[in-house]
Amino acid sequence: MAVSSKNTDRVIMHLDMDAFFAAVEQLDNPEYRGKPVVVGADPKQGTGRGVVSTASYEARKYGIHSALPISKAYRLCPHAIFLRGRMHRYAELSHQVMDIIKNYSPVLEQISIDEAFVDISGCIRLFGPTKNIGLKIKEDIHAQTGLRASVGIAPNKFIAKIASDLEKPDGLTICEKDGEKAFLAPLPIRKLWGIGARTEERLQNMGIKTIGDIADFDAKKLTTKLGVWGFGLWKLANGIDNRKVGTPHKRKSISEERTFYEDVADYNMVEKTLFKIADDLSRTMRRKSLKGRTITLKLRLEGFETHTRSKKLTDYVHDADSLRAVAVDLFRKFPIAERKVRLVGIAVSQLNTLGGEQLPLFDNTVINNEELEKLLDELKQRFGEKVVMRGSFLKKK
């Protein structure tokens, strides 16, 4: 099975902000510095629902990491500083960081609020060797924001991503051209994209423990055992990744969900929560210029039993009324059998950028939903979330 392993003379940088949310909180609150900070859900003295978004490096010493249940994080370090996120502040600093990077190269692909790929191939004549560019960008970010970043530089995106994670925090790791395979060889297989605990166990049973083991494994045999995905792993292990910066994967879905502090038997409360989720999700979709055709209700019952129900519409939508109406209809049709609800969420898939007219769900719709949503956005932006809200969110006296 012949595969070209030739990498062009590209130089790709991956920049990852260190413990970004927690670092911002420590930046804005000097009294938090040097202390374990956890950003995420309210732990409620160990009984809270939800997960950790980001943990400071001081908190990570206790075994706390992102996606860890917040109740477990509290048990591991009850004296930590637990904070709810401030997305507007994180977004503000994220924009500032990306603007700093653009001073060095316009070929940038932001893949999340705190990380990006940058093609610096054309910058070497202007700013010097790759190491100097990495150091200058890191220094500019710290000087202008007070935050630290870790950087990986390599001939392709995959290796640059791995490199940025090897010397955190405040790291700079470089993989030179033609050294890709040797750079990857000693690393554990969990460093490869898509390798979880089950796949790791399966590979280890095949005698594969490092990325180098995958690279040396017969590609045809690996493909036979794991399918096309196995061949993809083999290519990555050999340092082959020809993706260009600036061509991110198309987003397939967008979602919002809420975990109740206690399992809920009041289905009216569940429906009100769906109203709020639909409102928030609609605003996010409009901000990102997205519409979708398939709306999915996510429902987690007591005992962590999770179900999804979906409905495909005739056209692309993003207004809150459409999202809410479909989600509530799906919820009412679900055979819940008087069981309590732990989590509820709405996802929208089959996404498309804005364009075309939106078909109303009901023939007697008089108000233009999109114009109403835009007006609500403007009012909330000017007067705040709590000043302007939908009537259905108000508590009945």
Q: Is 139 in the active site?
A: no
Query: Which residues are bridge partners to 9 per DSSP?
Result: none
CB atoms within 10 A of CB 248: 11
Catalytic residue among 58, 109, 115, 256: 115
The two structure tokens encoding residue 184: 């990857």
d(CA 55, CA 157): 26
- Give the type of residue at 245: V
Write the burial class of residue 273 (CB in 10 Å: 0-12 exposed, 13-18 middle, 19+ buried). Answer: buried
Question: Hey, which bits of the chain come out as E strands?
Answer: 12-17, 37-40, 52-55, 81-83, 108-112, 115-119, 149-154, 172-174, 253-264, 290-301, 305-317, 341-353
End-to-end CA distance of the chain: 72
For residue 277, the tally of other CB atoms under 10 A from its CB is 23
CA distances from 337 to 265, 299, 328 (A): 11, 13, 16
Chain CA centroid to CA 368, Å: 32
| 299 torsion bin: left (phi>0), alpha (psi -120 to 50), beta (else) | beta
Catalytic residues: 115
